[in-house]
Amino acid sequence: MKKVKADPKGVLTGSHYMDGDFALAEGGLAAGCRFFGGYPITPSTETAERFSERIPMVGGVFIQMEDELASIISMIGAVWGGKKAMTVTSGPGFSLMMENIGLAAITETPLVIANVQRGGPSTGLPTLPGQQDMMQARWGSHGDYNIIALSPDSPQECFDLTIKAFNLSEIYRVPVFIMTDECIGHMHEKVVIPPAEEIEVVERKWYTGPKDKYLPFKLDKDGIPFMVKAGDGYRFHITGLTHDERGYPLLNSKAQDIKVRHIVDKINDNADKIIILEEEDIDGADIVVISYGITSRVAFRAVQTARKAGIKVGTIRLITVWPFPEKLINKLAKKVKAFVFPEINYGQMVREVERSSAGQTKVFPVHHCGGGVHNPDDIFKVIKEAAK
Amino acid sequence: MTDIRFSGYGGQGVIRMGLIIGKALSLYDNKYATMTQSFGPEARGSACSSQLVVSEDRVLYPYIITPEILVSMSQEAYDKYEPELKDNSIMITDNDLVKLKPLKRKIKIYSVPATRFAEELGNRIIANLVMIGFFASITKIASQDSIKKALPGLVPDRFLNLNIKAFDKGFEYGLKFLKKESNKKP
């Protein structure tokens, strides 16, 4: 893995009062994103607008595609053409991208997709928040594959985590999602963008060997294959069909076994390195509140109330939501009275907590079906109930 | 923690008011200020609002429930949001545009003919800056200097001076208003 300093051209160093959508775009530009292919959709449109204005200034390309199917394919093309690429969307557009998220996964194409979640299903609630695409992010395309997903809790983290997302996508050659929501997307807060020399960017793992020896899917020592730029004189083949090291279709169960295990395990085997979370007062806690994104801020308010009421509450904020920290949850399940898990959906990531706990403790979801954030009192009531 | 709602009709620069005060507070006054805004059709013509949560510590809950300060620049916005106010909150209006109802609670009312002043300065589009000036002198939540520093980037460069003039007009009117009020007290 080669780390370099960010290209100062893309870095808008300084303190800004900015919404989450703009911060996503600035994070992308700082990380070296020089291709944006997208289709505007509320509540993510501001990110596309920001890219359309800013990316030409840094020598990049913005294309408004005809729809989201084309958006993601344009990105896959741009990446194999040598660029770092990103797009942004929301529920309905995310659904349209699903088929070719699978193409990105099987071709091990590094790219970043931000989903500014709104209430669903279908057209749902275009201007209001939701966290209802969390399982779709992990399982939305057909077949077995793996992805990484991060969840920011503020405009500042929209910036920080977009850089992180690009770096992870290059390290593991995998699609990385930024699962934010309308509330953060449209919320203005202070965003500090550091000087370019303080931003670490992971460079693509370029192949430098002889031209006739390049194999796009031959695993290197770290388990990740090298990439080349189309047009640089390397002959290679990229397909959605199951393929061999050369990228040529090889349609049998042995090739399938190698491919599927590789694209799933490269994330699972490195989960400990990928997972970022914040823990607070876990030791000796009776109740642990697990949350992510905007809900974690609201949940902390409920936790403060619960602590004042004498309940021993710890918190875990998931910054990486996929892969899920199943080992940690399993270990904690042996010690705590219960987990409480608020999220803006009718029960999604909480299934992971239940699975990881394996019946060793109680799990209390706090549902909110979308269109707003939880009332902290509703979370507090469940904490109280769980502590009984 | 202070919850503020700026309200009016779409086009008056109501969202901009939240942005200017929010930027002034978080970049130059060392406060945490989270701004959210109304989205959708209501933001373009009828009652719309921006909401600002101001705090010494990080803002956890991003929306406002009961504003301590309500700024209303239209009748419709006043009618819609006035019932949210509780005792001892502050109501700031454009008194040419908002006709007050009889008060049911202990609310402090401050009024400024912001739109008229803006027209006198040459353009009604800067009524929001007159209102911000008035708001700043009445509430003292954000400093005068910080607000002026926040303006570049949020108002067009060629109208920066006009916006500052509008701010000063509102600010001075606010000071006079407060002086008159303190003279009234026994």
In angstroms and rounded to an integer, the radius of gyration of the C-alpha atoms of chain B is 15
Of A222-236, A270-284, B41-55, least confident by mean pLDDT is: B41-55
Question: Nearest Cβ partner of B62 from A16, A183, A190?
Answer: A183
Average pLDDT over residues A183-207: 98
Average pLDDT over residues A378-385: 98
The predicted pLDDT at position B41 comes to: 61
B39 vs A300: CB contact, 8 Å cut-off?
no
Q: In this complex, which of B26, B60, B61 lies closest to A17 when CB atoms are compared?
A: B26
A97: closest CA among A52, A136, A48? A136
CATH number of A3-202: 2.40.50.100, 3.90.640.10, 3.40.50.970, 2.60.120.20?
3.40.50.970
Locate B105 and state its tokens: 């609670």
Is the domain spanning B2-184 CATH 3.30.70.580? The answer is no
**pLDDT reported for residue B43:** 56
pLDDT given for residue B47 in this prediction: 84
Answer whether A188 sits within 8 Å of B18, measured CB to CB: yes
pLDDT at B39 over 60: yes
Percent of chain A with pLDDT over 70: 100
- Give the ranges where chain B is alpha helix by DSSP (H): 14-23, 75-81, 114-120, 127-139, 144-150, 160-184
Average pLDDT of every residue of chain A: 97
Which of B4, B15, B26, B44 to probe the A interface (max A CBs under 10 A)?
B26
Average pLDDT, chain B: 94
Q: CA of B18 to nearest chain A CA: how many angstroms apart? A: 9
pLDDT digits (tens, 9 = 90+) for A7-58: 999 999 999 999 999 999 999 999 999 999 999 999 999 999 999 999 999 9
Interface check for B39 against chain A (CB to CB < 8 A): the answer is yes
Sorted by sequence, the CB contacts under 8 Å of residue A22 that are 6+ apart come out as A46, A47, A50, A155
The Cα of B176 is separated from the nearest Cα of chain A by a number of Å equal to 32
Quote the radius of gyration of chain A (alpha carbons, Å): 21
All structural domains of chain A with their residue ranges: 3-202, 278-387
Q: Which CATH number fits domain A278-387: 3.40.50.2300, 3.40.50.920, 3.40.50.11720, 3.40.50.460?
A: 3.40.50.920
Phi then psi for A89, rounded to 5 degrees? -160, -175
Q: Where are the domains positioned within chain B?
A: 2-184
The residue-averaged pLDDT of A307-326 equals 98
Q: Is B155's Cβ below 8 Å from some Cβ in A?
A: no
Asked if residues B49 and B69 have their Cβ atoms less than 8 Å apart, the reply is no
Residue A268 sits at the chain B interface (C-beta within 8 Å): no
Report pLDDT digits (tens) over B50-81. 999 999 999 999 999 899 999 999 999 999 99
Judged by a CB distance cut-off of 8 A, whether residue A15 touches chain B is yes
Residue B40 has pLDDT above 70, yes or no: no
Q: Is the pLDDT of residue B35 over 90?
A: yes
Asked whether the beta carbons of residue A17 and residue B150 sit closer than 8 angstroms, the reply is: yes
Q: What sign does the CA torsion over A275, A281, A286, A291 have?
A: negative
- Asked if B39 lies within 8 A of A188 by C-beta distance, the reply is no
Asked if residues B146 and B30 have their Cβ atoms less than 8 Å apart, the reply is no
**pLDDT of A154-189, one tens digit each?**
999 999 999 999 999 999 999 999 999 999 999 999
Structure tokens of A229?
A: 């730029």
- pLDDT band of residue B104 (cuts 50, 70, 90) is confident
A334, pLDDT greater than 90: yes
Residue of A nearest to B154 (CA): A17
Note whether A297 contacts B: Cβ–Cβ < 8 A.
yes
Which are the contacts of A286, defined by CB distance < 8 A and separation ≥ 6?
A311, A312, A313, A336, A337, A338, A387
Read off φ and ψ for residue A276, nearest 5 degrees: -120, 130
The answer to whether A350 and A301 have CB atoms below 8 angstroms apart is: no
ipTM of the complex: 0.95
Q: Would you put residue B99 in left (φ > 0), alpha (ψ -120 to 50) or beta?
A: beta
Residues 159-218 of A with CB under 8 A from B: 182-183, 186-190
Q: Does A43 touch chain B (CB under 8 A)?
A: yes
β-strand partners of A62: A36
The pLDDT confidence band at residue A1, using thresholds 50, 70 and 90, is confident
The pLDDT value given to residue B98: 96
- The answer on pLDDT for B4 being more than 70 is yes
Q: Is the pLDDT of residue B44 over 80?
A: no
> How many other C-beta atoms can be found within 10 angstroms of the C-beta atom of residue A43?
27
Q: pLDDT at position B42, please? A: 56
Question: How many other C-beta atoms lie within 10 A of the C-beta of residue A151?
Answer: 29
Same CATH topology for A3-202 and A278-387: the answer is: yes
- As a whole number of angstroms, the distance between CA A361 and CA B28 comes to 48
Q: Two tokens at A50? A: 């920001």
A23 touches chain B (CB under 8 A): no
Which contiguous run of DSSP H or E holds residue A25?
Answer: helix A20-31
CB atoms within 10 A of CB A286: 15
Candidates B34, B40, B150; nearest CB to A187:
B34
Q: Which residues lie closer than 8 Å to A231 by C-beta, 6 or more apart?
A: A81, A82
